[in-house]
Each structure stands twice: as C-alpha cells, then as structure tokens.
C-alpha cells in the first residue's frame, strides 16, 4: 500500500502517514525516511488480547467500516471480513490482515469490531517462506540462532511458519530440546512468538546474528526477491543499534541517501546501485568468524 509520510518522531516512535486522503498515526518501522516520501508499506496490527470472540462478532451491528482513533497509534476498528486465509478485514481506509485474528464462527461478509492496541507500518517486502539459500553456520549456538530469527521476524524477512519450522527442526533432532525452543515452536500467536524469541535469544550474540542476517538480505537482493531500496533500508534498521559498530550503519545510510538522490537525478543505473548494495552487504555480512565472536 502506498502512503505519504507526513511526519515522524523517529524509528519505533509515532509517525503520521496519509493514505488516500486519510491520516493515520502509526508506529514507525520504516525509517529512515523523509517527510514527503511516498512509501510502499504494510500494516502490522497488535490486537487487544483481552477482547472476547463474542465482543468481536457482536460489536458492529451497523456493519460500519472504518478506523476510529482512540489515542496515539491505537484504534477501534470496524470492518467486514473479506478473506479467511489469513483473516482479512476491510476497514475502508485499509485492510487489516492478521494470522492471529480470532473470530470463531465468522465467515466472509461477517461484520466485526475490535481494538488495535498498536498499529505499526513497515516497508512491504516478501517474507521468506522457505529456508535461506545458505544455512546457518555449523556450531552456532541456540541463543544466537534465536536472535537471528527474532531480528528477521521483526523486520519482515521471515514469516511465522519459517521461524517455527526452525524450532521444530531442533526439536526433531534432539532427544531433550531446550524449553525455550519448544516455546517458540508452540507459540499461539505473533505476540507470543515475539516473546518466546526474545527470551530464547537473551544470551545470543547480537553482532553475529546481525552479520548473518545481512548475508541473508544480500541473498534476497541477489535473487531479486526484494528491491535495492528495501534491502538498504532494512540493513540500516538492523544496524541501528547502540551495541553495534557505527561503521555499517553509516555505510548503509550513505548509500540510502545516494539512492534517494538518484531517484531524482538519475545519474546511475538501477543495476549500478544494486551492485554497490550487494558489495556493502557482503562486506558487513560476511559469515565467517561469526561463531567465534563470543
């Protein structure tokens, strides 16, 4: 979905975007971006887990469609279910799609109402449905592997099925799998999966996981599954952590600025920008030595 950025307080803070004349307040998961930029985004809703199924099904007798802002980035959503796999609700301004949405007994055409505790927006990108082209290094510890999957899941590089399949593979291979891995495999919804990954990765090596994920982004870009701007913005977000070296973030930030300028000046070809992006990702995402950096 195309949206124009009106303002933002910064990454993971509140931003205002405009879609077809409607202004929405969202959590910024797409920065770095500049006011006025037109972004291709997708919405990630965090639903109020305390609402019952009956409240969802009975809360929209007038079959309204729309988002009513409560405060900040929270909304009361009214809409009509237009798809079941996954459940997708047409709320007029936007469509809310969430695998965790529970409306037992509902079908296409059912009117529903529910509360969105936090509406996040992030760059639209194709999540990995199958294993990356390159496996994780032999000998990588579970905590670092969990951190790798946690980062990839939060950035939209990996979907829920992909992350759980990694956990199930460990369970199948070991006589006594760690309880933290079992919690990941059996997480009931997206929020539970976020929490399980965070706990499992508490002692993970962030730098090693970051380098591995940069390598994955390079593979996705090389295979043309994501665009050059999306790859670099994702790399910037990944490297924007106080516990990491600033060099990678600065390199990606400079290239992102070059890409932005080139959209207007057109001095360099798309292939040229893509090649430079691949070189940077290869430089900062090398997979050797990641298991020995503990």
Give how many domains the chain has, as a whole number: 2
Spatial contact of 249 and 240, defined as CB atoms under 8 Å apart:
yes
Residue 67: pLDDT band with limits 50, 70, 90: very high
The per-residue pLDDT of the chain, averaged, comes to 85
Out of 123, 156, 176, a domain closes at 123
Q: So what's the pLDDT on residue 104?
A: 56
Assess whether 149 and 107 both reside in one domain.
no
Evaluate if residue 292 carries a pLDDT over 70.
no
Q: So what's the pLDDT on residue 212?
A: 92
Assess whether 115 and 163 both reside in one domain.
no
φ/ψ of 189, rounded to 5, equals -155, 180
Greater confidence, 134 or 97?
A: 97
Give me 292's structure tokens.
């020995």
**What are the beta bridge partners of residue 79?**
112
Q: So what's the pLDDT on residue 131?
A: 43
Structure confidence by residue, pLDDT tens digits, 161-199 = 889 999 998 998 888 999 999 999 998 888 889 999 999
Assess whether 151 and 286 both reside in one domain.
yes
Residue 52: pLDDT band with limits 50, 70, 90: confident
Assess whether 279 and 162 both reside in one domain.
yes
Range of the domain at 49: 2-123
Assess whether 20 and 99 both reside in one domain.
yes
For 51, residues 6+ apart whose C-beta sits below 8 A from its C-beta are: 114, 115
Q: So what's the pLDDT on residue 201?
A: 94
Residue 134: pLDDT band with limits 50, 70, 90: low
Structure confidence by residue, pLDDT tens digits, 135-158 = 688 789 999 999 999 999 888 888
For 52, residues 6+ apart whose C-beta sits below 8 A from its C-beta are: none
Q: Is residue 259 included in any domain, yes or no?
A: yes
- In the numeric block, the tokens 């950096």 are attached to 293
Q: Is residue 45 included in any domain, yes or no?
A: yes
Structure confidence by residue, pLDDT tens digits, 280-289 = 999 898 644 4
Spatial contact of 219 and 134, defined as CB atoms under 8 Å apart:
yes
């Amino acid at each position: 979905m195309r949206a124009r950025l009106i303002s933002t307080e910064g990454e993971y803070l509140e931003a205002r975007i405009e879609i077809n004349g409607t202004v929405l307040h969202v959590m910024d998961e797409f920065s770095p971006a500049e006011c006025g930029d037109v972004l291709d985004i997708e919405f990630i809703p965090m639903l109020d887990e305390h609402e019952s199924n009956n409240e969802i099904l009975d809360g929209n007798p007038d079959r309204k469609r729309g988002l009513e802002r409560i405060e900040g980035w929270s909304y009361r959503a009214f809409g009509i279910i237009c798809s079941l796999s996954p459940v997708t609700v047409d709320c007029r301004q936007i469509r809310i799609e969430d695998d965790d949405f529970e409306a037992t007994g509902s079908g296409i055409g059912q009117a529903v109402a529910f509360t969105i505790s936090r509406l996040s927006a992030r760059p639209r990108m194709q999540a990995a449905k199958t294993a990356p082209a390159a496996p994780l290094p032999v000998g990588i510890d579970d905590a670092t592997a969990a951190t790798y999957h946690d980062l990839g899941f939060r950035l939209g590089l990996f979907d829920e099925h992909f992350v759980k399949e990694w956990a199930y593979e460990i369970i199948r291979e070991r006589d006594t799998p760690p309880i933290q891995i079992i919690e990941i495999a059996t997480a009931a919804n997206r929020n539970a999966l976020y929490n399980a990954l965070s706990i499992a990765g508490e002692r993970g090596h962030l730098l090693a996981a970051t380098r591995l994920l940069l390598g994955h982004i390079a593979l996705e870009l090389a295979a043309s599954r994501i665009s050059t701007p999306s790859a670099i913005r994702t790399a910037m977000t990944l490297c924007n952590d106080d516990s990491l070296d600033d060099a990678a973030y600065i390199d990606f930030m400079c290239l992102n600025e070059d890409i932005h300028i080139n959209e207007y000046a057109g001095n360099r070809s798309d292939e040229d920008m893509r090649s430079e992006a691949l070189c940077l990702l290869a430089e900062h995402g090398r997979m050797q030595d990641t298991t020995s950096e503990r």
